[in-house]
Every structure is written in C-alpha cells, then in structure tokens.
Structure 1
Amino acid sequence: MKKTAVVVFSGGQDSTICLIQALRQYKFIYCLTFYYGQRHKKEIDIARNLALKLGVQSHKFMDISFLYELTSSSLITNNLSDLEVRTHQDRSIPSTFVPGRNILFLTLASMYAYQLKSSVVIIGVCETDFSGYPDCRNAFILAMNRSISLGMHFDIVFKTPLMRFTKAEIWALADFLGVLYFVIHETITCYNGIKSYGCRKCSACVLRNNGLRDYLNNKSSVRQSLQDKTN
C-alpha cells in the first residue's frame, strides 16, 4: 500500500468515489475541499459530513471565493440561464464553466502536497462523458502535471481514476466498491444544491441520473466495459 495522497474533494459523486477508492489504496489521505463562491454552500457541509463518515483523518477547507472577482460563471453568479438540459451534441462551453477553476485547484493542491511531502494528487475529472469543460480533459491534466512538476521541481503525479469512464461506468465502479447506494443517497451533484437525485432538471442531475439509469438497466454490459477499461 502506498503512503499518502491529496484528494481534491467536493462531496459530489465522482470525487466521493475517488476518495473511497483512495482510502483503500493509501495509508493516509489528505482531503482538500474548496469554497470558490459556488451558488450553494451545502456541498461544503456535505463534503465535511462525508469525510467524517468515511473516517478521513485530515480534511482541509480552503476559501478561494476571490474567484468571484476574477471570472464569470452561472455557478458563482446565481445566473440560472444555463441550468437547462444540454445534449451530448452540444459541444459549446456551458455558462457553468468556471474559467481557471481546475488550474487553481491543481496548483493549490500541489502546493499543499509539496508541504506534506506527498507526491500524489487525485482529482475526479472525466472527459469521456459530456460536460463541455476544457479543464476536465486528459490533455489538460497531463500538461498541467508537467508544468507544475517543472515549476516546483517536485515529482508530483496527478491521478484521474475516472478519466476514461462514462457516467454509467462510474456508477458500476461505485457498485464494485460496495458503495453504490451510499454514493446515490449521500453525495451532491445538483446545481440547485439538492442532495442525492437532486432537482432532476439541471444538466448535472440529468447526466448523473441518466448514467445511473443506464447502469441499472444494463449492468452486465456496463460492468464488462468497465472491466475492459481497467485491465
């Protein structure tokens, strides 16, 4: 078992699955949760409660709400215009995109890891499901990883366990880990701040719930697909 890792943790489906997996792979986990002025603070409380339930020994909260002064996004300005359902064909960048958010998350997480002498940062980004967020793509993660390693003169590794998985496959992973219903009922993804199945209307809820429905209706094929990607 490896020593330590820093997990960027939001209390959402993806980061919770990453955290649960990491707790089984590393001797010690440092959770790092950011408040960046998002539309609702409920996810901060949910992240705190989840970490406690999962037995996380170190959970740091960082206020970077100054992002509100630097950027524009419906996630931090309460502009509800982009909370409608988006299709898989729509490849435009949604107004819920927060420019620079993951750049800042990874930079600060790396600084924290450097201080802790931990060489691994885990983040639950995924490019295979539709999102439209350019900072969730593998090419960005690899470039950012190289830049920070060079700039800090520190051999740090960004791990993205969910990068190649669809939402259905991510639910299959939760089931494989034995935490499917825990993740369904205890995490928050909804842009309107509603836990579990959420408002069922915003893009985040539709993506999450469609993925769950796809997994439950096609368990054997989704599990096989997950297995093929992890072998």
Structure 2
Amino acid sequence: MSDGSGESRALVLFSGGQDSATCLAWALDRFAHVETLGFEYGQRHRIELDGRGRLRAGLVRIVPAWGRRLGADHTLALDALGQVSDTALTREAEIGYQASGLPNTFVPGRNIVFLTLAAALAYRRGLRHIVGGMCETDYSGYPDCRDDTIKALQVALNLGMDRRFVLHTPLMWLDKAQTWHLAQELGGRPLVDLVVEESHTCYLGVRGLRHPWGYGCGTCPACLLRASGYARFAAESVESDTGTVP
C-alpha cells in the first residue's frame, strides 16, 4: 500500500512498444514500486497490447530484483478517443501527411488524455511518479510529445488534483539508437533481445517477418525509425567492442 507520499512509487504508461518497454525497465531500476497502465482506444496496432504480459514477465527473468518492485498492471478502454479521431492509427487509411504538415498518424489529445487518466489512477493508488515514453528527438512533430507540453501538463495536473506528481520522460532527448543503448545499459543484451522479440512498434499492427530489430511491416514510419535506430545501435556496439574509433 501507499507510504502516504508515494515518493518511491511509480506508474508507467506501458503500451507494449519499444519505448514503453524501455521506460518500464528505467522505472524498475529507480523506484521501489512500479505499476503499469495500458490503453485500448481502437488503435490499428492493438497487437502491441498482447505483448505487455510477456514483456513484464521477461523483465523479471532478466533482473529478478525487479520482480519485487513490479506491481499491478492496469488497462483502460478509451473507445471514445478512437471515435473522435479520424487518423491513420484509428482507421484503415494510407499513412501520409495532413494539410497542416502533421502526419495523419497523430491522434489529437491522446497523450493529454493518457497522462490525465494516469494521474487520476496514480492519485487513487498513491503513486507520485508517472513515466511516459514521449520523445522530441525522433518524432513526427506530434505537439503532445513536446517537452513544453509535458511540463505544462504537469503543472495543470498538480493544480487540478492538489498533488505533486512528477512526470518523467526519460526518452525525451534520445534518438532511437540511444534508446536501444539505454535498454542495453539497463538490462544488457537480454533486455535488448526481449524488446526485439516481444515489443511491437509497427503502425499497421503487422507482426510480419522477423527482422534484426523485431517484427513489423518494415515500411511504415514506425518500422523505418526503429530499424534505422537499431542499425546504428548495432554498428556502434560493434565499434565499441572492437575499440574502433568512428
């Protein structure tokens, strides 16, 4: 139960993708008690939710001490978000760009809703820290992934709930290659392998072929970003092992 302050208790937004899996490992490495929260909002890549249990179990196998820290898993249905959205992530549509310049994979309000509901759950569960995989380095211009958005939302949530939540975004300034490196730092090669095998990033929800970086269609923006990041991570790892200076 809560220690009253929730100082060492965290809630991780955990979709089952590469970024959220890395964030969960990051949180387990830092906090005494960590719970997870996933959302089902009619996303085309709902398959990512299916891997959440395997990822949680895999993390405990890799670092047994994390098993003593890993708490309850929660899933919330957000059908309304899919109903009000007209995006390539919530309907069958070709991925492209809107007239505004934003990709049509942008789901308006998604991260704002996610973090607001996460804070409401954290309030009830006595959790102070909320961890999300938002990133401003390798992103598609989503305005709700920006550091300024997260900081403003933290202020609003703390005022509106009269609590002192801390929103953590450990990947905010990391590119995809650095995210792979972070996973390796946290759990070694076994964690990298777990993320490759069990996490899902493909926007189309296609498991498809097993690539060096994992499963997916291999051609959507999410797959291309993950693949290019993994390729650079692999090359940098080889250089480090051999002592080669780039």
TM-score of the aligned structures, taking structure 1 as reference length: 0.87
1:41 has 2:46 as partner: yes
Please say which of residues 35-44 and 140-149 is displaced more in the overlay.
35-44
* Superposed counterparts of 1:119-138, under 5 Å: 119-138=128-147
Residue by residue over 1:155-198, the C-alpha shift from the partner in whole angstroms, topping out at 9 and shown as x without a partner, is 00100011011111111111112111211121100012234231
Mark the CA change 1:29 to 1:139 in structure 2 (over 3 Å): closer, same or farther.
Answer: same
Q: Percent identity?
A: 40
Compared CA separation, residues 65 and 52, structure 1 to 2 (3 A):
farther
Aligned counterpart, 1:102: 111
Q: Matched residues in 1 for 2:236 and 2:57: separation?
A: 33
RMSD, aligned α-carbons: 2.1
Could you list the per-position Cα deviations for residues 62-102 of structure 1 after superposition, in whole angstroms to 9, with x for gaps in the alignment? 0001112212111001212339xxxxxxx921000000000
Residue in 1 that maps onto 2:82: 68
Return the alpha-carbon distance in structure 1 between the equivalents of residues 79 and 109 of structure 2.
13
Q: Say how many residue pairs are matched.
A: 215
Instruction: After superposition, give the CA deviation of every residue in 1:111-165 in whole Å (9 maximum; x if it has no partner).
Output: 0011112111000111011322111110100001111111111100100011011
Q: Is the 8 A contact 1:168 1:214 kept in 2?
A: yes
| One-letter identity of the residue aligned with 2:162 | H
Q: Which residue of 2 aligns with 1:197?
A: 215
* Partner Cα distance (1:220, 1:79) in 2: 39
Hey, what does 1:88 align to over in structure 2? Answer: none
Alignment partner of 1:176 is 2:181? no
| CA pair 115-221 structure 1, distance change in 2 beyond 3 A | farther
Residue among 3, 7, 12 paired with 2:8: 3
- Structure 2 unpaired stretches of 5+: 1-6, 61-69, 208-213, 241-246
Which consecutive residues of structure 1, in runs of 5 or more, have no partner in the other structure? 84-90, 223-231
Larger radius of gyration: 2
Is residue 2:64 matched to residue 1:52?
Answer: no
The amino acid that maps onto 2:174 is F
Q: Report the Cα distance in structure 1 between the residues aligned to 2:148 and 2:25, rounded to whole angstroms.
A: 25
> What amino acid is aligned across from residue 175 of structure 2 in structure 1?
T
